Structure 1
Amino acid sequence: MKAYTRLLGIVAVAAIAILGPAATASAHEERPTRELEGTGSVPVYRTTGPTLLVCKSDPADFATRIAGFPADLKAANEQLWQQCQQGGHRHIQQAVDAAHLPGTIIKILPGVYLEEPSIAPASPECAAMENGAVRGKIYGYPVLTWDQQLACPHLANLIAILGKKNLQLEGTGASPMDVLVDAQYKKLNAIRADNADGVYFRNMSAQRAQFNAFYVMETDGFVLDRTIGRWNDEYAFLTFAVDHGLYTDCEGYGNGDSAFYPGAASNINKDRGHDVPRYAVEIQRCYGHHNTLGYSGTAGDSVWVHDSVFTENTAGIATDSAFPDHPGMPQNHSKFERNIIANNNVDYYKHIVDGTCKKPFEQRGYEQGVVCPAVGLPVGAGVVNPGGNYNIWRDNHIYDNRYSGFVTSFVPGFVRNDTEFAQQFDTSHHNRYIDNVMGVSEKGEAKPNGINFWWDGQGVGSCWTDMSATNIRTVPACGDDELPALGTHRYLGEPAGTLKMYACAGYDGGRQHLPSDCDWYGAYAAHGLERIEVKWALGGAVVLGLLAIGLYYRRLRDSKRALIGLLLAVGGLVVGVFGTIEMGSVLHPVGLAFYGAGLTLLGLALRGTSARKLGVMTLLVAVFALLGAIDHGLLMIPWIPVSPALLRVLMEIVWIPWALGAVLAAPRTATAADPATDPAAPAAPEPAAA
């Protein structure tokens, strides 16, 4: 069996590779990172310590900004402003550069910080460095080394916190928007904290960066507390190669990829089961809305997301293993619980099609609600999880997502540049979907998803509790111990599901290309017979049906058994096409059952002719069709490495030319007698197997 599974795997992966890899999910390109030791801790907010002040110098503007503050807060800010005018800084970067004492606190008074010195033309040395730097393959921006960042910190960053430890930056206003860092689309990052263990951001906002508002990298210990990121081409908050991190009470909106991206977090639980001692990053009480994604995380390992809200995005959450060369692949061990993932139906792909997203950043209209999707996703998906392992989804309210509550699939290793054979099948295993409230709001209102769960059928050891309205009707149940009752042991996805994911991944925003046969893309989505899986189902049904008719008329015309089989098989094929059109419909397993029963009768009839070997092959196709009906209609069959559907398709590939030969080679004047009524009837010679 292992050898057979390996052979099937080689065939399947080779087929995908020959087609060419579809466009990968967007992420970001960065220098190689070091593995953190994990000896840090989540920093604690401090009220005392060495303090630096940052403010602007216009008293009238400052007075206007604090006029509505509560009396105590207004008085405190007035006092700080007087002190800042005497000995403070006018730019945040100046204060960062002046912070030399451990545990320094930088208090930033209300105002808009454009950081004019940081956007001055680069020195000749830095300009030469930028021109000679390695550039990313996707976006084309310079990917600077650590030494290059230190030498020229403002090539990519408006504010650069490089190598500073235990620095705390906090706004002194009444809300995060009172202190606003505005990159004006002149820098890749508004704020970058790199190798900045213990950094703490509080009560401030950043906006209009070419990539990220807040970027924390290669840092052990950070907090993003009451912060807002908006109107960035990619991310509001991006943390990468980090440990001991906390996002709390944050908000992100108007971002082309996502509000929150804890990508490549420390892979501290990679060798464990579900019993994890801690998580590398925690996200709590955050709000991601009006982005392409509320949350995304390529290799978002060991992230705990809870009590947060992801609404009114294109899709709510995505965590994946679909981008090459990220540390920590495949994605694993994240937990999402008690979140609201709802009404993620906003279609931003119109801005790709009409050319808005080809304009310069500042002309696109991000401030007026334009979002330029960096990734191709189903409009109306609550959760998208291609290629995750050991994830837990528990007690979330997931509703009013018009495509599906969940979309999950496997990701073969070559997509992420992993080439070993075993890595082609190492994703989408041991995930738990426990007690999620599907299609009902937190207020008890009925707000159904399009379907609750779309799955390509691949994975080992995953299970679900109380999950109805799924594309595969027989998702395996979890027992009372939250372990799989029977579970699955599939290393390849369903053929139709894999084909669909491959086609839909062909999105390319830069070329303004949306796949025409995919049903993901809102106003541009394929419908009915336009969908790739329906096209293939219809095409296959036509070919198989015509061959069955041909076999009957050329070889089995006198057999009543064959006539009944023909009617059942053709009827099953028709019903199956309608079942493919309507995701999750009972018509799909019913169609397979009719098709399998019909082929059984045709195969038995052929066994009584000179085409007896073709009859055996027909019976084999019938067996796998009937197993598929059980697999999709009654119980997902455990302990088999691939689905009956894949085996049936492989059998049909052999059967089609064989049956065609039998149709063409049959004598035009002869008909095959039913052996049940005329066992002595002569038969035409059987053609060789194709």
Structure 2
Amino acid sequence: MGRRYLGRLWLIVATAAGLVLGLMAGADAHIERPSYWPLPGPDCSVSPCAGGAVPKARSLASSITTSRGGETRVVCRPDSLKRLEASIKRARRSGYDIRPHDHRRFSAAEARELTRINRALASRCRYGEIQPAVTDSGNNDRVVVLPGVYTEPTSRAKPTHDKACDPYKLSTGAYSYLGEYMCQNDANLIAVLGRSPGSGKDPDPPLVDRHGIPNRGACVRCNLQLEGSGVSADDVVVEAGDPSSGNGGPRRSAKDVGIRADRADGFVLRNVTVRHAEEHDIYVLESNGYLLDRFKTFYAGEYGVLTFVEDHGVMQNCEAAGNGDSGLYPGSGAKTSAGRDPKVYPTARYSQEIRYCDSHHNTSGYSGTDGSGTWLHHNNFYDNGLGFTTDVFTAAGHPGFPQQGDLIEKNDFYSNNFNPYLPGSDVVPSVPVPVGTGMWIAGGDDNVVRDNRFRDNKRRGAMLFAVPDAFVCGPGNGPITGCDPLKLSTSHRNSFHGNTMSGNGVDFWWDAFPGNVGNCWYSNGNATGSPKNLPDCLNGKIPWLSIGLGNLGNEAELFVCMSDLKPGGPCPWFTSPTAGKAAPADDHDHGAGGELNDALLAAVTCHSWHEMNTDQRDHMLTRMQVFMGGQIDHPGARGTTLSNQKATSVLDNACGLSFAGQFKLYKLYARAAAFTPQLRR
């Protein structure tokens, strides 16, 4: 029975994984190399030390003074000063936007000072493109870019997927760091390669322990600052696609990545817009210490910003819109809070911080697979399909499973009802999400969601559900550190409290997966829930009182939407919830009508049995007959089944026990069918 169930489960998972991999392969994207978290300490082979903390931005005014600690290289266009003059006039008249929720005035004194600085910089301009200035830079240097649209024609002319770069590929097909260094503009419009290649060979296959970068070379561009010199990020545009599209679509990308900072410890990017990359507008990888400040990203195929395996990082004062996956993505952040290795991270802290950003009109406002130890506060996520997602949908080689330890506080998740799946959408979605939802946490642990506002999300305010290890690291997948297909490592000890909920379809939604513990909802006002009575853990004081007992309807929705997507299928996610007719706060929105596949049948418990109506029970038992009556290992043999009437009697009796809430129905059914043959008459 167990082996047969697992075989069918893996068939479902393999089919879904094959679909995802097929879509990825069809995009002809660059495969990323196996990556490692940098060790948290600073590199003091350079002065000042690189990494070990979030870098501090140097003022624009300091770029025109003779100062210690690096050279300044200036990039400009023939019309840079005219563009600056026009921008200053607009800002003096109407102000300017750091982001849609942060409009600022511009004083006469600020105008005079910015004009003075830019004139001095223009007299020093020696570059017409950004990449040559970056390539010529060293440790502690800075590149200042005057107003203009920078299409980087030299980088664009470099071939993508150049056969000459094939010798630098690992067995996975990804370029090694040496490959990125030698072929820096194969995928990237602008590449900031912070270190020289190591003198040895990269581990292939990768090491199991991902702490510390193997074969790491010396700093050559650490502590680099790249910044625009205009009034706002709108004045300096790094264009990876079609300039005629402005800040909208279509993107017509020339390169996969707009700006890539790789092993660039102490990297600072300020006051620029990046748009229209095929994959990611801004990409920061294996860097110890970064600051992304006063930036905007528009209409990338995947992410506005992707940071991966980072530590000591901050994104702030930003806008991200029009991206096919999400606006902001801090993936596989260093696990420095819950679940940390105390030998590497002796003191709990957050490895990345995102604050004062507006992410809107994306498929998702935020996402972060295995994005641990992230602190998000004072951000706005609105007009997305899904406002926020963190998950454990982990590919082999993707470190950090399971996701743990985010603090999400004082944000506004509102009106996330944009439907990118409708014909004519200007955003091309690359992932399936439940339109009309403020947040989901898919398999995360130890996350705190507090003091936020969730409003006018017409399907749901916030969702929490499990992703069993077996779905992540089972047969056909590569090994994933921390993942055991025989365990349930995800969706434990999450807390939702002090949030203000209004105008959502259902405020809180939980799959109540059997075996999940420590998830608590309290002090959220008159919030609605599915299930209706979510555990409050005595106001959060006793988390172990919360134990998942199963919820048939919610589990059914996840299975049909995660592993059985098909044209005309039962998944409801891609239909816009009607304003004024929000999704009902019902425990079984989709239980009776959804297709019960084998994996779901194996998860249904007595708790769900008590909540089912007669039609749902009959539907489930009919599917159970098919499931249990399938061919077993011995040739020609089939499993034993019960009539629906007899099965109902068996389950009514067994589930009537006071302690039977988590009993699996398929186990009760199988034992009754095997040992009580008279029940089948």
Q: Note whether the superposition's TM-score is higher than 0.5.
A: yes
C-alpha contact (below 8 Å) 2:673/2:679 kept by paired residues? no
1:209 match: secondary structure: coil
1:377-392 to 2 correspondences below 5 Å? 377-392=433-448
2:348 and 2:417 map into 1 onto residues whose CA distance is 36
Cα distance change, pair 524–393 in 1 and its aligned pair in 2 (3 A): closer
Q: Contact 2:309–2:333 (CA<8 Å) still a contact in 1?
A: yes
CA contact (8 A) 1:538 1:577 kept: no
Corresponding residue of 1:156: 187
- Does residue 56 of the first structure (1) align with residue 77 of the second (2)? yes
Residues 503, 532 of structure 1: 8 Å contact kept? no
Structure 1 segment 50-449 matched on structure 2, within 5 A: 50-58=71-79, 60-61=82-83, 63-70=85-92, 71-79=108-116, 80-81=118-119, 83-100=121-138, 102-122=139-159, 126-129=162-165, 133=169, 143-163=174-194, 164-184=221-241, 185-271=253-339, 277-325=348-396, 326-351=398-423, 370-417=426-473, 421=484, 424-439=487-502, 447-449=503-505
Change (3 A) 1:437 1:86: closer
Measured after TM superposition, the shift of residue 74 of structure 1 is 4.2
Separation (CA, whole Å) in 2 of partners of 1:454 and 1:287: 27
Is the contact between residue 107 and residue 169 of structure 1 (CA under 8 Å) also seen in structure 2?
Answer: yes
Q: CA deviation at 1:73?
A: 4.3
Over 3 Å counting, the alpha-carbon distance change for 1:77 and 1:93 in structure 2 is farther
User: Partners of 2:171 and 2:299 in 1: how far apart?
Assistant: 24
**Structure 2 Cα separation of the partners of residues 213 and 234 of structure 1:** 9
Task: Confirm or deny: 8 A CA contact 1:503 1:515 kept in the other structure.
Answer: no
Flag the 1:514–1:404 CA change in 2: closer, same or farther, 3 A.
Answer: farther
CA distance change for structure 1 residues 335 and 29 in 2, over 3 Å: closer, same or farther? farther
CA separation of 1:54 and 1:421: change in aligned 2, threshold 3 A: closer
Q: Deviations over 1:574-611 (max 9, x none)?
A: 4868999xxxxxxxxxxxxxxxxxxxxxxxxxxxxxxx
Query: 1:462, CA displacement in angstroms?
Result: 1.5
Pair 1:17 & 2:10 matched: yes
Aligned letter for 2:546?
Answer: G
Which one of the candidate residues 464, 475, 478 is aligned to 2:534?
475
RMSD: 4.0
Count of aligned pairs between the two proteins: 546
Distance 1:271 1:619, change over 3 A: same
Equivalent residues of 1:507, 1:514 under 8 A apart: no
How far 1:300 moved relative to its partner?
0.5
Partner residue, 1:651? 668
Partner of 1:621: 651
Secondary structure in 2 aligned to 1:350? coil
Task: Give the TM-score, by structure 1 length.
Answer: 0.70
Contact 1:438/1:452 (CA < 8 Å) preserved in 2? no
Q: Could you tell me which residue of structure 1 aligns to residue 627 of structure 2?
A: none
Cα offset, 1:623, TM superposition: 3.8
Out of 50, 55, 61, which is 1:43 matched to? 55
Contact 1:53 1:108 in 2 (8 A): yes
CA distance in 1, matches of 2:40, 2:651: 54
Match of 1:488 in 2: 547
User: Which runs of no fewer than 5 residues in structure 2 stay unpaired?
Assistant: 25-29, 42-51, 93-107, 195-220, 242-252, 476-482, 599-608, 621-642
Q: Per-residue deviation at 1:395?
A: 1.0
Alignment match, 1:359: none
Task: Report the AA paired with residue 545 of structure 2.
Answer: L
Q: Which amino acid aligns with 1:534?
A: A
1:594-637 CA-to-partner distances (Å, cap 9, x unmatched) read xxxxxxxxxxxxxxxxxxx999976541145557xx9xxxxxx8
CA gap of 1:390–1:378, structure 2 versus 1, over 3 A, is: same
TM superposition shift of 1:389: 0.7
Provide closer, same or farther for how the CA distance between residues 477 and 687 of structure 1 changes in structure 2, counting only shifts above 3 A. Answer: same
Whole-angstrom CA distance in 2 between matches of 1:516 and 1:524: 17
**Shift of the alpha carbon at 1:404?**
1.2
Instruction: Tell me which residue corresponds to 1:517.
Output: 570
- Within-5 A mapping of 1:668-683: none
- 1:230: how far off? 0.6
Task: For CA contacts below 8 A with separation 6 or more, give which structure has more relative contact order.
Answer: 2
Of stretches 266-275 and 224-233 in structure 1, the one that deviates more from structure 2 is 266-275
Q: 1:169-216 CA deviation, whole Å, 9 max, x = no partner?
A: 121211111111110110000000000010111111100000111110
Query: What's the secondary structure of 1:401's corresponding residue?
Result: coil
Structure 1 residues 552-575: Cα deviation after superposition (integer angstroms, max 9, x where no partner): xxxxxxxxxxxxxxxxx9998448
**Would the aligned equivalents of 1:519 and 1:531 in 2 still touch at CA under 8 Å?**
no
CA shift for structure 1 position 81: 3.8
Alignment of 1:566-581 (within 5 A): 573-574=613-614
Q: 1:452 aligns with which of 508, 513, 532?
A: 508
Runs of at least 5 residues in structure 1 that lack an aligned partner in the other structure: 1-6, 137-141, 357-368, 440-446, 541-568, 581-612, 631-636, 660-685
Q: Please state how far the C-alpha of 1:406 moved relative to its aligned partner.
A: 1.7
**Contact 1:179 1:205 survives alignment (8 Å):** yes
- What is the percent sequence identity of the aligned residues? 29
Distance 1:287 1:61, change over 3 A: closer
Question: In 1, distance between residues paired with 2:341 and 2:447?
Answer: 10
> Could you give the per-residue CA deviations for residues 250-309 of structure 1, whole angstroms, max 9, x where no partner exists?
110000011100001112235369997210100111111000011000001111111111
2:455 counterpart letter in structure 1? Y
SS of the residue corresponding to residue 36 of structure 1 reads: coil
The residue number in structure 1 matching 2:36 is 34
Give the drift of 1:167: 0.9
Q: Structure 2 vs 1, CA of residues 372 and 536 (structure 1 numbering), >3 Å: closer, same or farther?
A: closer
Return the offset for 1:523.
5.1
Query: By how many angstroms is 1:422 displaced?
Result: 5.5
Name the SS of the counterpart of 1:214 in structure 2: strand
- The structure whose residues are more often helix, as a share, is 1
Tell me the equivalent position of 1:597: none
| Greater C-alpha Rg | 1
Q: Is the 8 A contact 1:399 1:449 kept in 2?
A: no
Give the structure-2-normalised TM-score. Answer: 0.71
The Cα offsets for residues 91-139 of structure 1, whole Å up to 9 and x where unpaired, read as: 1112212222x3223222111111111111439x944325985798xxx
